[in-house]
Structure 1
Amino acid sequence: MTLSRASLLILLVLAALSGCGQSVEHFGGPTMGSSYTVQYVPTGKSPDAAKLKNEVDAILAGLDEQFSTYRDDSVVSRFNGLPAGACMALPADMLTLWRYGEQLSQQSGGAFDLTVEPLMNLWGFGPQSRSEKVPDAPALERERARVGHRHLRLNGEQLCKDVDAQLDFDSIVAGYAVDRVSARLAELGLTDYLVEITGELKAVGHKPDGKPWRIALEVPSGERERQVERSVALDGIGLSTSGDYRNYFEEGGQRYSHTFDPRTGAPVRHALAAVTVAEAQALRADGLSTLLMVLGPEEGYTFAERNGLAAFFIVRQGEGFVTRATTRFEALFPSPE
């Protein structure tokens, strides 16, 4: 799974302040090992920027206390430190995300999995990693035995584990944070805003000139270069991109990406470079983009079409890239701009 933040394929340059006059205000800050930004059109009912920022920072701080795998005192770290056979009561946010992750795992036959942190650490991409390397077979088999939703079960509000399993919600928590922040901004009287957290985003309403918030999707023109491929107008839609072409290592002439297939315990070997998903809920967009990235260009596209998803695939072909959109994506965003 794509558990490191791989959503930098979404560019905000076309949605930013240029062309919006002085009526669009913005603030931001660090979060989840990256950053967040909020752009909004003030109304007579909305608080000032300092109040809004305090509200957003409080939401993000609360989620960090629950979900950060880089904090020993977080809820998820305390759960991960429990031995096999232990149970622990989880807060409502974590139960919501666990249930959604369980749903995606069942729908995909295990291609989406919230328990892959041991594999991420083993390969060098996780929070307890020492170095990026290809593990030996015994180590890989040992860690695979700790991975899988089958090892966890809910008992009321408690999550129990029958092995030394570890959770990592990085594949969905940023999208959930976007939804939480967006809902709070609406409660505070805003009607036109764009929330972006570590690359996951949601836009509501319009800019002051009546034009929609517009987001650019990029295609890599080189291994670490950017090239805008398409822009999309959003209103009430969350957008998430997962990709692997910036986070990888090479060993023995082989390229190993940070996108893992939990079913094999190894990095994916397919040609899908990135996939973008549009959904009303940023949480759903976040999880589904990860899932499709694991499944790959063919299996992922079939899954997306079968489930009516709005998805945009970027696939390696030779020295370049080709793109492919689902029927639902073309219906939402009918023509390249």
Structure 2
Amino acid sequence: MLIRWQGVAFLLLGALSGCGNGDTLESFGGPTMGSTYSIKYVRHAGLPAPDEVRFQVEQILADMDRQMSTYRSDSDIERFNALPANNCQAMPASILELVRVGEQLSVQSDGSYDLTVEPLLNLWGFGPQARGETVPTAEALADARKRVGHQHLRIEGDRLCKNVAVEVDFNSIAAGYAVDTIATRLEAMGIRGYLVEATGELKASGKKPDGSSWRIALEEPRDDQKVAERIIAVDGFGLSTSGDYRNYFEQGGKRYSHAFDARTGAPVSHTLASVTVIHPSALMADGLSTLLLILGPERGWDYAEKHDIGAFFVIRADTGFVTRTSHAFERLSAGKTE
């Protein structure tokens, strides 16, 4: 199974109901990626039976598990990760697509975001091969950093190659990719109104049977209770939140987050508690929310404004939390696309 390392930070609002035109709101879900998924969609005459829709969705999730899971040794990516330096392996198109997205985000963040941080995750206690949460020695950290860096990967035709024994981890973008893939499959089956969610990443399109919008509450980053920071209507966009408030440990009075800056090899240390990104692609929303969390409240804000990214920042302050939104977030959450 894939294990997510981002916090779920959305509350789905609105009752499941039908309306007088005969349309109904179908829903189903289950376990995936170490968490859960849920599908809600508007069914009308002529659409496939709910069992067929569920079969198609779960086939996509099963395929992703076989290809991308870092928790099963027979997955495509784990077989690649086990290879020594200077080797190549044929890969499905989905993996090559995610590697290219990872390269794009790595370049745009000057190397802060990187898909090859698994040795660091394991070393600090957050990865699939972790042996306890602990602050590593300088020597161990230096050794792990030798095996980190997107520049050590290359694509040759349908093969993924490496010149150093790097290990690829898709957990920062896999769920967004799954959401986009499921949404595309639903649309191919004639479904126009839907809300797809996997491990907290989501995409919504169309309207509910009563004509109302899919409404999403952005959750305040708290462990003790769920509090809505803001409620937005979503149509045709993906949403992703990354936060440091549900996966961390403390040692010597210092807090260590699961979010890593690949340039330093250490967890980030800043006041940004969470960031939500709205984007036409759930995949890009997923990756960008991680990237902005790594960059922090100042660098992340500048990046979002420079690249016209819809981002909602929740920042720790002495009195609690303060929020800040990019201009693109205000525009997109209001339903404006220009």
- TM-score between both structures, scaled by the size of structure 1: 0.95
The answer to whether the Cα contact below 8 Å between 1:200 and 1:241 also exists between their aligned partners in 2 is yes
Which residue of structure 2 aligns with residue 5 of structure 1? 5
The answer to whether the Cα contact below 8 Å between 1:4 and 1:258 also exists between their aligned partners in 2 is no
Q: Which structure 2 residues correspond to residues 151-166 of structure 1 after superposition, within 5 A?
A: 151-166=152-167
Between the aligned residues of both structures, percent identity stands at 57
Aligned letter for 2:116?
Answer: T
Counterpart Cα distance in 1 of 2:205 and 2:223: 33
- 1:159 CA drift (Å): 1.6
Counterpart Cα distance in 2 of 1:276 and 1:240: 5
Aligned letter for 1:312?
Answer: F
Which residue of structure 1 aligns with residue 231 of structure 2? 231
Which residue of structure 2 aligns with residue 150 of structure 1? 151
The answer to whether the Cα contact below 8 Å between 2:311 and 2:325 also exists between their aligned partners in 1 is yes
| Deviations 1:12-68, CA, capped at 9 Å, x for gaps | 2x1452x66692110111111111000011021211111110000001100110000
Q: Which structure 2 residues correspond to residues 122-137 of structure 1 after superposition, within 5 A?
A: 122-137=123-138
- TM-score between both structures, scaled by the size of structure 2: 0.95
Counterpart Cα distance in 1 of 2:315 and 2:98: 29
Counterpart Cα distance in 2 of 1:244 and 1:80: 26
The answer to whether the Cα contact below 8 Å between 1:45 and 1:190 also exists between their aligned partners in 2 is no
The answer to whether the Cα contact below 8 Å between 2:5 and 2:258 also exists between their aligned partners in 1 is no
Which residue of structure 1 aligns with residue 49 of structure 2? 48
Which residue of structure 1 aligns with residue 274 of structure 2? 274
Counterpart Cα distance in 1 of 2:46 and 2:311: 36
The answer to whether the Cα contact below 8 Å between 2:4 and 2:34 also exists between their aligned partners in 1 is no
**Moved runs in structure 1, 4+ residues, more than 2 A?**
19-23, 222-226
- 1:225 CA drift (Å): 2.7
Q: Which structure 2 residues correspond to residues 137-286 of structure 1 after superposition, within 5 A?
A: 137-220=138-221, 222-286=222-286
Which residue of structure 1 aligns with residue 30 of structure 2? 29
Counterpart Cα distance in 2 of 1:213 and 1:310: 18
The answer to whether the Cα contact below 8 Å between 2:239 and 2:277 also exists between their aligned partners in 1 is yes
Aligned letter for 2:220?
Answer: V
The answer to whether the Cα contact below 8 Å between 1:125 and 1:258 also exists between their aligned partners in 2 is yes
The answer to whether the Cα contact below 8 Å between 1:277 and 1:311 also exists between their aligned partners in 2 is yes
Aligned letter for 1:168?
Answer: D
Moved more, 246-255 or 147-156: 147-156
Aligned letter for 1:329?
Answer: F
Which residue of structure 1 aligns with residue 83 of structure 2? 82
Counterpart Cα distance in 2 of 1:145 and 1:119: 10
Structure 1 residues 4 and 51: alpha-carbon distance in aligned structure 2, compared to 1, 3 A threshold:
closer
Counterpart Cα distance in 1 of 2:139 and 2:268: 20
Task: Please give the secondary structure, in 2, of the residue aligned with 1:72.
Answer: coil
Aligned letter for 1:74?
Answer: S
The answer to whether the Cα contact below 8 Å between 2:4 and 2:199 also exists between their aligned partners in 1 is no
Give the gaps of 5 or more residues in structure 1: none
The answer to whether the Cα contact below 8 Å between 1:271 and 1:296 also exists between their aligned partners in 2 is yes
Task: Please give the secondary structure, in 2, of the residue aligned with 1:168.
Answer: coil
| Deviations 1:66-110, CA, capped at 9 Å, x for gaps | 000000100000000000111111110001111111011111101
Counterpart Cα distance in 2 of 1:274 and 1:285: 13
Which residue of structure 1 aligns with residue 58 of structure 2? 57
- 1:293 CA drift (Å): 0.5
Task: Please give the secondary structure, in 1, of the residue aligned with 2:43.
Answer: coil
The answer to whether the Cα contact below 8 Å between 2:7 and 2:246 also exists between their aligned partners in 1 is no
Task: Please give the secondary structure, in 1, of the residue aligned with 2:303.
Answer: helix
RMSD: 1.5
Aligned letter for 1:230?
Answer: R
The answer to whether the Cα contact below 8 Å between 1:45 and 1:188 also exists between their aligned partners in 2 is no
Counterpart Cα distance in 2 of 1:24 and 1:285: 26
| Deviations 1:117-146, CA, capped at 9 Å, x for gaps | 000000000001110000011000000010
Task: Please give the secondary structure, in 2, of the residue aligned with 1:179.
Answer: helix
Which residue of structure 2 aligns with residue 293 of structure 1? 293
- 1:217 CA drift (Å): 0.3
The answer to whether the Cα contact below 8 Å between 1:216 and 1:232 also exists between their aligned partners in 2 is yes
| Deviations 1:234-259, CA, capped at 9 Å, x for gaps | 11110000001111001011100101
Structure 1 residues 269 and 55: alpha-carbon distance in aligned structure 2, compared to 1, 3 A threshold:
same
Task: Please give the secondary structure, in 1, of the residue aligned with 2:24.
Answer: coil
Counterpart Cα distance in 2 of 1:328 and 1:217: 17
